[in-house]
Amino acid sequence: MKKLYLKGTPNKKQELFFSSKAKFTAYGGARGGGKSWALRRKLVLLCLRYAGIKCLIIRRSFPELQYNHILPLRAELGECVKYSESGKCFKFPNGSVLKLGYMSDDGDTLQYQGQEYDIIALDEATQLTEYRFSALKACLRGTNGYPKRMYLSCNPGGVGHAWVKRLFIDRIYHDGENPDDYAFIQATAYDNTVLMEKDGEYINTLKSLPKELRAAWLDGRWDLFEGQFFSEISEDIHVIPPFELPYGVRRIGGLDYGFDMLAFVCLAIDEDGRVYVEREYSEPNLTLSSAAHKIAEMCRGLDVDYISASPDLWNRRQDSGLSGFEIMANVHGMPPLIKADNRRVPGWRALREYLKADGGEPKMKFFKTCFDTFRCLSSLTYDKTKAEDASDTPHEITHLPEALRYAVMSRIQRADTAEEMYNMRKRRYENRNNLANY
Protein backbone atom coordinates (compact mmCIF):
# COMPACT_ATOMS: atom_id res chain seq x y z
CA MET A 1 0.00 0.00 0.00
CA LYS A 2 1.26 3.44 -0.90
CA LYS A 3 1.79 5.92 1.90
CA LEU A 4 -0.57 8.85 2.05
CA TYR A 5 0.99 12.27 2.53
CA LEU A 6 -1.42 15.07 3.35
CA LYS A 7 -0.15 18.48 2.37
CA GLY A 8 -1.07 21.77 3.97
CA THR A 9 -0.84 23.30 7.44
CA PRO A 10 -3.97 24.55 9.20
CA ASN A 11 -4.08 28.17 10.30
CA LYS A 12 -4.98 29.10 13.88
CA LYS A 13 -8.73 29.22 13.27
CA GLN A 14 -8.64 25.88 11.46
CA GLU A 15 -6.74 24.41 14.40
CA LEU A 16 -9.57 25.54 16.69
CA PHE A 17 -12.03 23.89 14.34
CA PHE A 18 -10.05 20.63 14.29
CA SER A 19 -9.86 20.52 18.10
CA SER A 20 -13.57 21.26 18.74
CA LYS A 21 -15.34 18.48 20.62
CA ALA A 22 -18.82 20.03 20.45
CA LYS A 23 -21.55 17.89 18.97
CA PHE A 24 -22.30 20.64 16.44
CA THR A 25 -19.46 22.91 15.32
CA ALA A 26 -19.95 25.70 12.77
CA TYR A 27 -16.93 27.24 11.07
CA GLY A 28 -16.64 30.32 8.91
CA GLY A 29 -18.91 33.32 8.73
CA ALA A 30 -17.18 35.04 5.77
CA ARG A 31 -15.76 34.29 2.34
CA GLY A 32 -12.20 33.05 2.01
CA GLY A 33 -11.91 31.50 5.47
CA GLY A 34 -10.71 28.11 4.20
CA LYS A 35 -13.94 26.32 5.12
CA SER A 36 -14.15 23.58 2.47
CA TRP A 37 -10.54 22.53 2.95
CA ALA A 38 -11.04 22.37 6.71
CA LEU A 39 -14.13 20.15 6.35
CA ARG A 40 -12.40 17.76 3.95
CA ARG A 41 -9.25 17.52 6.02
CA LYS A 42 -11.16 17.00 9.28
CA LEU A 43 -13.14 14.08 7.86
CA VAL A 44 -10.13 12.49 6.18
CA LEU A 45 -8.23 12.61 9.49
CA LEU A 46 -11.18 11.02 11.29
CA CYS A 47 -11.32 8.25 8.67
CA LEU A 48 -7.62 7.56 9.16
CA ARG A 49 -7.86 7.56 12.96
CA TYR A 50 -11.00 5.47 13.50
CA ALA A 51 -11.10 2.21 11.53
CA GLY A 52 -14.61 1.63 10.18
CA ILE A 53 -15.97 5.09 10.90
CA LYS A 54 -18.72 6.33 8.55
CA CYS A 55 -18.59 9.97 7.42
CA LEU A 56 -20.78 12.05 5.12
CA ILE A 57 -20.22 15.38 3.36
CA ILE A 58 -23.29 17.24 2.04
CA ARG A 59 -23.57 20.16 -0.38
CA ARG A 60 -26.67 21.72 -1.91
CA SER A 61 -26.10 20.48 -5.47
CA PHE A 62 -24.06 17.78 -7.20
CA PRO A 63 -22.02 20.24 -9.34
CA GLU A 64 -20.97 22.06 -6.14
CA LEU A 65 -20.14 18.72 -4.53
CA GLN A 66 -18.10 17.63 -7.52
CA TYR A 67 -16.10 20.85 -7.79
CA ASN A 68 -15.57 21.56 -4.09
CA HIS A 69 -15.00 18.06 -2.72
CA ILE A 70 -14.96 15.07 -5.06
CA LEU A 71 -12.28 16.40 -7.41
CA PRO A 72 -10.04 17.83 -4.62
CA LEU A 73 -10.34 14.61 -2.59
CA ARG A 74 -9.48 12.40 -5.56
CA ALA A 75 -6.43 14.56 -6.25
CA GLU A 76 -5.39 14.54 -2.60
CA LEU A 77 -5.98 10.88 -1.78
CA GLY A 78 -4.84 9.51 -5.14
CA GLU A 79 -4.47 5.73 -5.31
CA CYS A 80 -4.16 5.38 -1.54
CA VAL A 81 -7.93 5.46 -1.07
CA LYS A 82 -10.36 3.74 -3.43
CA TYR A 83 -13.10 5.93 -4.89
CA SER A 84 -16.44 4.43 -5.99
CA GLU A 85 -18.01 6.49 -8.76
CA SER A 86 -21.37 4.74 -8.48
CA GLY A 87 -21.55 5.06 -4.70
CA LYS A 88 -19.93 8.51 -4.55
CA CYS A 89 -17.75 7.42 -1.64
CA PHE A 90 -14.11 6.94 -0.66
CA LYS A 91 -13.28 3.56 0.92
CA PHE A 92 -10.21 3.61 3.16
CA PRO A 93 -8.02 0.51 3.66
CA ASN A 94 -8.98 0.39 7.35
CA GLY A 95 -12.68 0.07 6.50
CA SER A 96 -13.60 3.72 7.00
CA VAL A 97 -15.98 5.27 4.48
CA LEU A 98 -16.36 8.89 3.41
CA LYS A 99 -19.58 9.33 1.43
CA LEU A 100 -20.50 12.46 -0.53
CA GLY A 101 -24.07 13.58 -1.16
CA TYR A 102 -26.25 16.55 -1.99
CA MET A 103 -29.63 18.01 -1.03
CA SER A 104 -31.05 20.30 -3.68
CA ASP A 105 -34.53 20.28 -2.09
CA ASP A 106 -36.31 18.90 0.96
CA GLY A 107 -37.33 15.81 -0.99
CA ASP A 108 -33.69 14.72 -1.17
CA THR A 109 -33.81 13.91 2.53
CA LEU A 110 -35.68 10.69 1.66
CA GLN A 111 -32.51 9.07 0.32
CA TYR A 112 -30.90 9.36 3.77
CA GLN A 113 -33.77 7.95 5.83
CA GLY A 114 -32.63 4.97 7.87
CA GLN A 115 -28.95 5.58 7.22
CA GLU A 116 -26.43 5.92 10.07
CA TYR A 117 -23.32 8.08 10.16
CA ASP A 118 -20.82 8.89 12.87
CA ILE A 119 -19.76 12.21 11.35
CA ILE A 120 -21.79 14.49 9.05
CA ALA A 121 -20.40 17.65 7.46
CA LEU A 122 -22.62 20.31 5.87
CA ASP A 123 -20.68 22.55 3.52
CA GLU A 124 -22.37 25.97 3.08
CA ALA A 125 -25.02 25.05 5.63
CA THR A 126 -26.88 28.34 5.11
CA GLN A 127 -27.87 27.06 1.66
CA LEU A 128 -29.88 24.27 3.30
CA THR A 129 -33.22 24.52 5.09
CA GLU A 130 -33.62 23.69 8.77
CA TYR A 131 -35.76 20.73 7.73
CA ARG A 132 -32.79 19.20 5.88
CA PHE A 133 -30.54 19.89 8.86
CA SER A 134 -33.02 18.19 11.20
CA ALA A 135 -33.39 15.20 8.88
CA LEU A 136 -29.63 14.70 8.84
CA LYS A 137 -29.40 15.00 12.62
CA ALA A 138 -31.58 11.89 12.78
CA CYS A 139 -28.85 10.03 10.83
CA LEU A 140 -26.23 10.87 13.44
CA ARG A 141 -26.30 7.67 15.45
CA GLY A 142 -24.67 4.28 16.01
CA THR A 143 -23.41 1.95 18.73
CA ASN A 144 -19.74 1.69 17.76
CA GLY A 145 -18.40 4.11 20.36
CA TYR A 146 -17.03 6.58 17.79
CA PRO A 147 -17.78 10.29 18.28
CA LYS A 148 -21.11 11.45 16.85
CA ARG A 149 -20.67 14.97 15.53
CA MET A 150 -21.77 17.40 12.85
CA TYR A 151 -19.47 19.99 11.29
CA LEU A 152 -20.88 22.94 9.38
CA SER A 153 -19.33 25.60 7.21
CA CYS A 154 -21.40 28.73 6.67
CA ASN A 155 -21.60 32.28 5.36
CA PRO A 156 -24.32 34.84 6.16
CA GLY A 157 -27.29 34.76 3.77
CA GLY A 158 -29.18 31.99 2.05
CA VAL A 159 -32.31 30.03 2.83
CA GLY A 160 -30.76 28.64 6.02
CA HIS A 161 -29.46 31.95 7.37
CA ALA A 162 -32.10 32.16 10.12
CA TRP A 163 -31.60 28.76 11.74
CA VAL A 164 -27.80 28.90 11.56
CA LYS A 165 -27.82 32.38 13.09
CA ARG A 166 -30.27 31.30 15.79
CA LEU A 167 -28.21 28.31 16.89
CA PHE A 168 -24.63 29.54 16.51
CA ILE A 169 -24.73 33.36 16.61
CA ASP A 170 -27.75 34.39 18.69
CA ARG A 171 -27.62 31.13 20.67
CA ILE A 172 -31.40 30.91 21.09
CA TYR A 173 -32.46 27.35 21.77
CA HIS A 174 -35.74 25.48 21.69
CA ASP A 175 -36.83 22.60 23.90
CA GLY A 176 -34.52 19.64 23.43
CA GLU A 177 -31.57 21.75 22.21
CA ASN A 178 -28.59 21.82 24.59
CA PRO A 179 -26.54 25.05 24.37
CA ASP A 180 -23.40 23.11 25.29
CA ASP A 181 -23.72 21.11 22.07
CA TYR A 182 -23.14 24.14 19.82
CA ALA A 183 -19.86 25.93 19.06
CA PHE A 184 -19.06 28.60 16.48
CA ILE A 185 -15.60 29.50 15.19
CA GLN A 186 -15.54 32.79 13.29
CA ALA A 187 -13.09 32.89 10.39
CA THR A 188 -12.56 35.46 7.65
CA ALA A 189 -10.25 35.80 4.69
CA TYR A 190 -7.78 37.59 6.97
CA ASP A 191 -7.39 34.33 8.94
CA ASN A 192 -6.57 32.35 5.80
CA THR A 193 -2.80 32.82 5.61
CA VAL A 194 -2.46 30.71 2.45
CA LEU A 195 -5.02 32.82 0.61
CA MET A 196 -3.45 36.07 1.80
CA GLU A 197 -0.03 34.96 0.55
CA LYS A 198 -1.17 33.65 -2.82
CA ASP A 199 -4.02 36.03 -3.64
CA GLY A 200 -3.76 39.22 -1.63
CA GLU A 201 -5.99 40.99 -4.16
CA TYR A 202 -8.96 38.91 -3.03
CA ILE A 203 -9.37 41.23 -0.04
CA ASN A 204 -9.62 44.22 -2.36
CA THR A 205 -12.24 42.37 -4.39
CA LEU A 206 -14.35 41.85 -1.26
CA LYS A 207 -13.85 45.49 -0.23
CA SER A 208 -15.25 46.66 -3.57
CA LEU A 209 -18.59 44.84 -3.08
CA PRO A 210 -21.88 46.63 -2.26
CA LYS A 211 -22.51 47.38 1.41
CA GLU A 212 -24.55 44.30 2.33
CA LEU A 213 -22.30 41.86 0.47
CA ARG A 214 -19.15 43.45 1.86
CA ALA A 215 -20.48 43.29 5.43
CA ALA A 216 -21.40 39.61 5.07
CA TRP A 217 -18.58 38.27 2.89
CA LEU A 218 -15.64 40.30 4.21
CA ASP A 219 -16.58 41.15 7.80
CA GLY A 220 -18.72 38.10 8.50
CA ARG A 221 -21.65 40.17 9.81
CA TRP A 222 -24.85 38.19 10.31
CA ASP A 223 -27.14 41.23 10.56
CA LEU A 224 -26.50 42.24 6.93
CA PHE A 225 -26.49 39.84 4.01
CA GLU A 226 -27.24 39.58 0.30
CA GLY A 227 -30.96 39.51 -0.46
CA GLN A 228 -32.01 40.71 3.01
CA PHE A 229 -35.53 42.16 2.77
CA PHE A 230 -35.27 44.65 5.64
CA SER A 231 -31.66 45.79 5.41
CA GLU A 232 -32.53 48.87 7.51
CA ILE A 233 -33.21 46.77 10.59
CA SER A 234 -30.49 46.78 13.25
CA GLU A 235 -30.33 45.27 16.72
CA ASP A 236 -28.46 48.34 17.98
CA ILE A 237 -31.27 50.66 16.87
CA HIS A 238 -34.45 48.61 17.03
CA VAL A 239 -34.06 46.34 20.09
CA ILE A 240 -34.40 47.84 23.57
CA PRO A 241 -34.75 46.55 27.15
CA PRO A 242 -38.37 46.25 28.33
CA PHE A 243 -39.68 49.16 30.38
CA GLU A 244 -42.97 50.06 32.01
CA LEU A 245 -45.10 51.83 29.44
CA PRO A 246 -47.03 54.93 30.50
CA TYR A 247 -50.70 54.79 31.35
CA GLY A 248 -52.96 55.36 28.38
CA VAL A 249 -51.01 53.56 25.67
CA ARG A 250 -53.19 51.73 23.16
CA ARG A 251 -52.57 48.09 22.46
CA ILE A 252 -53.39 46.09 19.38
CA GLY A 253 -52.43 42.61 18.21
CA GLY A 254 -51.56 40.72 15.08
CA LEU A 255 -52.35 37.05 14.58
CA ASP A 256 -51.19 34.52 11.99
CA TYR A 257 -52.76 31.14 12.64
CA GLY A 258 -52.01 27.79 11.11
CA PHE A 259 -51.83 24.37 12.72
CA ASP A 260 -48.14 24.34 11.78
CA MET A 261 -47.61 27.55 13.77
CA LEU A 262 -49.52 30.06 15.85
CA ALA A 263 -47.84 33.48 15.75
CA PHE A 264 -49.07 36.42 17.84
CA VAL A 265 -47.62 39.86 18.55
CA CYS A 266 -48.91 42.59 20.84
CA LEU A 267 -48.04 46.20 19.99
CA ALA A 268 -48.19 49.16 22.38
CA ILE A 269 -48.69 52.59 20.81
CA ASP A 270 -47.89 55.74 22.77
CA GLU A 271 -49.46 59.17 22.31
CA ASP A 272 -46.73 60.19 19.83
CA GLY A 273 -47.46 57.22 17.59
CA ARG A 274 -44.34 55.27 18.52
CA VAL A 275 -44.89 51.52 18.39
CA TYR A 276 -43.34 48.99 20.74
CA VAL A 277 -43.49 45.27 20.05
CA GLU A 278 -44.27 44.38 23.63
CA ARG A 279 -45.17 40.68 23.63
CA GLU A 280 -44.85 37.75 21.25
CA TYR A 281 -45.92 34.15 21.21
CA SER A 282 -45.40 31.33 18.75
CA GLU A 283 -46.11 27.62 19.07
CA PRO A 284 -46.89 24.83 16.60
CA ASN A 285 -49.62 22.18 16.63
CA LEU A 286 -52.31 24.15 18.48
CA THR A 287 -56.01 23.80 17.78
CA LEU A 288 -57.99 27.00 17.30
CA SER A 289 -59.44 26.91 20.82
CA SER A 290 -56.05 26.14 22.38
CA ALA A 291 -54.48 28.99 20.41
CA ALA A 292 -57.20 31.36 21.60
CA HIS A 293 -56.60 30.38 25.24
CA LYS A 294 -52.88 31.05 24.81
CA ILE A 295 -53.56 34.49 23.32
CA ALA A 296 -56.12 35.35 25.99
CA GLU A 297 -53.54 34.54 28.63
CA MET A 298 -50.94 36.71 26.87
CA CYS A 299 -53.38 39.63 26.76
CA ARG A 300 -54.57 39.34 30.36
CA GLY A 301 -54.58 42.80 31.98
CA LEU A 302 -53.37 44.62 28.83
CA ASP A 303 -56.73 45.97 27.53
CA VAL A 304 -55.98 45.03 23.93
CA ASP A 305 -58.32 46.99 21.62
CA TYR A 306 -58.40 44.31 18.92
CA ILE A 307 -56.37 41.65 17.14
CA SER A 308 -55.93 41.83 13.39
CA ALA A 309 -56.02 38.30 11.96
CA SER A 310 -55.73 36.72 8.53
CA PRO A 311 -59.08 36.79 6.65
CA ASP A 312 -59.04 33.03 6.11
CA LEU A 313 -59.89 32.70 9.79
CA TRP A 314 -63.46 33.68 8.81
CA ASN A 315 -63.82 30.65 6.50
CA ARG A 316 -66.12 27.94 7.83
CA ARG A 317 -64.59 24.57 8.73
CA GLN A 318 -66.21 21.52 7.16
CA ASP A 319 -65.76 19.46 10.30
CA SER A 320 -67.63 21.81 12.66
CA GLY A 321 -69.52 24.23 10.44
CA LEU A 322 -67.96 27.05 12.45
CA SER A 323 -65.35 29.51 11.30
CA GLY A 324 -62.03 29.87 13.04
CA PHE A 325 -63.15 33.37 14.04
CA GLU A 326 -66.24 31.98 15.81
CA ILE A 327 -64.24 29.32 17.64
CA MET A 328 -61.60 31.76 18.86
CA ALA A 329 -64.00 34.60 19.65
CA ASN A 330 -65.97 32.33 21.99
CA VAL A 331 -62.95 31.78 24.24
CA HIS A 332 -63.21 33.75 27.49
CA GLY A 333 -60.78 36.68 27.57
CA MET A 334 -60.04 36.73 23.83
CA PRO A 335 -59.87 40.34 22.56
CA PRO A 336 -62.05 41.29 19.57
CA LEU A 337 -60.83 39.97 16.20
CA ILE A 338 -60.91 41.94 12.97
CA LYS A 339 -60.08 40.88 9.42
CA ALA A 340 -56.59 41.95 8.47
CA ASP A 341 -55.75 43.75 5.28
CA ASN A 342 -53.47 40.97 4.09
CA ARG A 343 -52.07 42.63 0.97
CA ARG A 344 -48.41 41.74 1.08
CA VAL A 345 -46.57 44.52 -0.75
CA PRO A 346 -48.52 47.44 0.79
CA GLY A 347 -48.12 45.75 4.17
CA TRP A 348 -44.35 45.44 3.85
CA ARG A 349 -44.17 49.07 2.67
CA ALA A 350 -46.09 50.21 5.73
CA LEU A 351 -43.86 48.17 8.01
CA ARG A 352 -40.75 49.57 6.35
CA GLU A 353 -41.96 53.08 7.16
CA TYR A 354 -42.06 52.15 10.83
CA LEU A 355 -38.60 50.58 10.72
CA LYS A 356 -36.65 53.29 8.89
CA ALA A 357 -34.53 55.55 11.03
CA ASP A 358 -33.10 58.07 8.52
CA GLY A 359 -30.54 59.28 11.04
CA GLY A 360 -33.10 59.55 13.83
CA GLU A 361 -35.20 57.18 15.89
CA PRO A 362 -37.38 54.57 14.17
CA LYS A 363 -41.12 54.60 14.89
CA MET A 364 -41.02 50.92 15.87
CA LYS A 365 -38.87 49.19 18.47
CA PHE A 366 -38.77 45.67 19.84
CA PHE A 367 -38.50 44.72 23.48
CA LYS A 368 -35.68 42.24 24.03
CA THR A 369 -38.33 39.82 25.24
CA CYS A 370 -39.64 39.84 21.65
CA PHE A 371 -36.33 39.01 20.00
CA ASP A 372 -37.82 36.13 18.00
CA THR A 373 -39.98 38.59 16.05
CA PHE A 374 -36.97 40.81 15.43
CA ARG A 375 -34.83 37.83 14.43
CA CYS A 376 -37.38 36.46 11.97
CA LEU A 377 -38.04 39.88 10.48
CA SER A 378 -34.34 40.56 9.94
CA SER A 379 -33.94 37.12 8.33
CA LEU A 380 -36.55 37.63 5.61
CA THR A 381 -35.24 37.64 2.05
CA TYR A 382 -36.63 39.06 -1.18
CA ASP A 383 -38.98 36.92 -3.23
CA LYS A 384 -37.19 35.80 -6.38
CA THR A 385 -40.10 36.58 -8.72
CA LYS A 386 -42.28 39.25 -7.05
CA ALA A 387 -40.88 42.76 -6.79
CA GLU A 388 -41.13 44.37 -3.35
CA ASP A 389 -42.38 41.17 -1.76
CA ALA A 390 -40.66 39.02 0.85
CA SER A 391 -40.15 35.33 0.26
CA ASP A 392 -42.65 33.09 2.01
CA THR A 393 -39.92 30.53 2.74
CA PRO A 394 -38.48 29.18 4.93
CA HIS A 395 -41.79 28.93 6.76
CA GLU A 396 -40.23 28.78 10.22
CA ILE A 397 -39.34 32.50 9.99
CA THR A 398 -42.39 33.92 8.18
CA HIS A 399 -45.19 33.57 10.74
CA LEU A 400 -44.23 36.27 13.26
CA PRO A 401 -43.49 38.86 10.51
CA GLU A 402 -46.90 38.06 8.98
CA ALA A 403 -48.60 38.71 12.32
CA LEU A 404 -46.67 41.96 12.70
CA ARG A 405 -47.68 43.04 9.17
CA TYR A 406 -51.35 42.43 9.93
CA ALA A 407 -51.15 44.60 13.04
CA VAL A 408 -49.34 47.42 11.23
CA MET A 409 -51.82 47.43 8.34
CA SER A 410 -54.70 47.82 10.79
CA ARG A 411 -53.17 51.15 11.83
CA ILE A 412 -53.89 52.65 8.42
CA GLN A 413 -57.45 51.38 8.07
CA ARG A 414 -60.40 53.79 7.96
CA ALA A 415 -60.91 55.82 11.11
CA ASP A 416 -64.51 54.62 11.46
CA THR A 417 -63.26 51.01 11.52
CA ALA A 418 -60.91 51.81 14.38
CA GLU A 419 -63.71 53.66 16.17
CA GLU A 420 -66.02 50.70 15.67
CA MET A 421 -63.45 48.39 17.26
CA TYR A 422 -63.02 50.76 20.17
CA ASN A 423 -66.76 50.88 20.83
CA MET A 424 -67.05 47.09 20.52
CA ARG A 425 -64.29 46.65 23.08
CA LYS A 426 -65.87 49.23 25.38
CA ARG A 427 -69.23 47.47 25.30
CA ARG A 428 -67.58 44.12 25.90
CA TYR A 429 -65.69 45.25 28.96
CA GLU A 430 -68.03 47.79 30.55
CA ASN A 431 -69.80 45.15 32.67
CA ARG A 432 -66.58 43.55 33.85
CA ASN A 433 -65.66 44.51 37.39
CA ASN A 434 -62.15 43.08 37.37
CA LEU A 435 -60.41 43.69 34.09
CA ALA A 436 -57.12 42.34 35.35
CA ASN A 437 -58.65 38.90 35.75
CA TYR A 438 -60.60 38.93 32.51
* Same domain membership, residue 266 and residue 349: yes
Whether residues 141 and 276 fall in one domain: no
Give the CATH number of the domain where residue 432 resides. Answer: 3.30.420.280
Judgement on whether residues 321 and 210 belong to the same structural domain of the protein:
no
Asked whether residue 310 falls in the same domain as residue 417, the answer is: yes
- Over 32-74, what HEC string results? CCCHHHHHHHHHHHHHHHCCCCEEEEEECCHHHHHHHHHHHHH
Please give the residue that has the higher pLDDT: either 427 or 116. 116
- Residue 5 belongs to a domain: no
Judgement on whether residues 415 and 291 belong to the same structural domain of the protein: yes
- Pick from 21, 17, 27: nearest CA to 152: 27
Q: Indicate if 134 and 22 belong to the same structural domain.
A: yes
Residue pLDDT, tens place only, 264-288:
999 999 998 999 999 999 999 999 9
Q: Beta strands 97-102 and 89-91: pairing type?
A: antiparallel
Under DSSP, is residue 135 helix (H, G, I), strand (E, B) or coil? helix
Confidence of residue 4 (pLDDT cuts 50, 70, 90): confident
Largest CA distance in the chain: 89
What are the pLDDT digits (tens) for 122-149?
A: 999 999 999 999 999 999 998 898 999 9
Question: Residue 222 domain-assigned?
Answer: no
Domain check: are 25 and 68 in the same one? yes
Residue 306 lies in a domain: yes
382 found inside a domain: yes
Assess whether 324 and 403 both reside in one domain.
Answer: yes
Which stretch of DSSP H or E encloses residue 211? helix 211-217
Instruction: Please say which residue of 217, 243, 264 terminates a domain.
Output: 217
CATH code at position 19: 3.40.50.300
CA distance 224 to 216: 6
pLDDT value for 211: 72
Q: Are 255 and 176 in the same domain?
A: no
- Do both 203 and 352 map to the same domain? no
What does the alpha-carbon distance between residue 380 and residue 428 come to, in Å, rounded to a whole number? 38
How many structural domains compose the chain? Answer: 2
Q: Is residue 110 part of a domain?
A: yes
Rounded to an integer, the average pLDDT of 189-206 is 69
Would 241 be classed as within a structural domain? yes
| Whether 431 contacts 281, CB under 8 Å | no
Domain that holds residue 301: 235-437
pLDDT tens digits, residue range 361-391? 999 999 999 999 999 999 999 998 998 999 9
**pLDDT tier at 23, thresholds 50, 70, 90:** very high
